[in-house]
């Protein structure tokens, strides 16, 4: 069963990648504060933004340092879409067209006759 824990800024549940059915919640008053706190981590695998205003959520999602941003949904992977993190949450992408290139060894053969 997923658990939501309201935690203070700097709490280990917010700072570490838990990969469990747990969600660390930090309440903020301003959008700038939310972006600062969200980006104040060495990780950047995925982000979820829940909002009634999807246009504003998309705008904020552009400011989040994360490999993926899901608006009004949970972080997940889909074989049609590239997946991967930034910072200390991985290197490169898997899945999707971009992911195929990550696993390809491109060879150039030049013949000058």
pLDDT digits (tens, 9 = 90+) for 31-79: 999 999 989 888 777 888 889 999 999 999 999 988 888 899 877 777 7
Backbone φ, ψ for residue 22 (5° rounding): -135, 140
First to last CA, the chain: 67
DSSP E strands in 7-67: the ranges are: 22-25, 43-44, 46-49
Higher pLDDT, 102 or 9: 9
| pLDDT band at 101; cut points 50, 70, 90 | low
Q: Higher model confidence: residue 102 or residue 45?
A: 45
> Half-sphere exposure of 49 toward its Cβ, with a 13 Å CA cutoff?
24
| Domain definitions of the chain by residue range | 3-102
**Could you tell me which CATH number the domain at 3-102 has?**
3.40.309.10
Q: What is the pLDDT of residue 112?
A: 77
Decide if 49 contacts 71 (C-beta within 8 A).
yes
Range among 1-5, 78-82, 97-101 with highest mean pLDDT value: 1-5
CB neighbours (10 Å) of residue 49?
19
> What pLDDT, on a 0 to 100 scale, did the predictor assign at position 18?
76
């Amino acid at each position: 069963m997923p658990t939501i824990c309201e935690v203070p800024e700097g709490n280990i549940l917010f700072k570490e990648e838990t990969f469990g059915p747990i969600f660390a919640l930090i309440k903020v008053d301003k959008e700038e504060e939310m972006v600062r706190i969200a980006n104040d981590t060495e990780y950047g695998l995925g982000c979820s933004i829940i909002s009634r205003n999807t246009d504003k959520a998309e705008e904020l999602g552009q400011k989040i340092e994360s490999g993926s941003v899901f608006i009004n949904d949970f972080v997940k992977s889909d074989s049609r879409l590239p997946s991967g993190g930034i910072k200390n949450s991985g290197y490169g992408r898997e899945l999707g067209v971009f992911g195929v290139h990550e696993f390809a060894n491109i060879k150039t053969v030049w013949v000058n006759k």
